[in-house]
Structure 1
Amino acid sequence: MKPLKHLYLHFQDGQRLILRFPQQSDDPGSIARNLRKQLESPFLSIQVDGDLLLIPRESIKYLQVCPAPAALPEPTIIGAELVD
């Protein structure tokens, strides 16, 4: 069984959507390329319970993927911590 990942979508209007899905690939390079493609698209596309969910990028404040993929898109700042 592939490891599970969590995606937290934080929207401009303050709402949040939490998704759980299996790791999409074992190839770190493929993961980084696909992540970059998603970020360059005007819509975030996700298959959810057999349906295609298209979320306009301009409605998203930020995304959080947990745990982080092994390969990250360049440039990514590594080792940061959230501070209140």
Structure 2
Amino acid sequence: MTIERSVVIYFTDKTSVAFSYPQQFDPSLVVQKINQVMDQAYFTVEAEGTLYIYPRDNIKSIQICPAPDKLPDTVVKGATIIES
């Protein structure tokens, strides 16, 4: 069964963009990959033959679904949204 994966990028100007994507790498490397992405000045996505480059300074938050099984120790796990 293929798991549907998506990322929603919320920008500081209150707009957003969403992408679906296939699995990118071995799930055991998730923590390492998250750290690599956070160290970059840009969040980049290739979709349908186009490269999108988003400056991190313009990003308010990033939502990744489903959450990876392995997460950094600093992540609060098992939370429930009660208000947003």
Length-normalised TM-score, structure 2 = 0.86
4+ long deviations beyond 6 Å: none
Paired residue type of 2:16: R
Q: How does 1:4-83 map to 2 (within 5 A)?
A: 4-25=4-25, 27-83=26-82
**Overall identity of the aligned pairs, in %:** 28
The structural deviation recorded for 1:69 is 1.0
TM-score by length of 1: 0.86
Compute the RMSD of aligned alpha carbons. Answer: 1.5
5+ long unaligned stretches in structure 1 = none
Matched length: 83
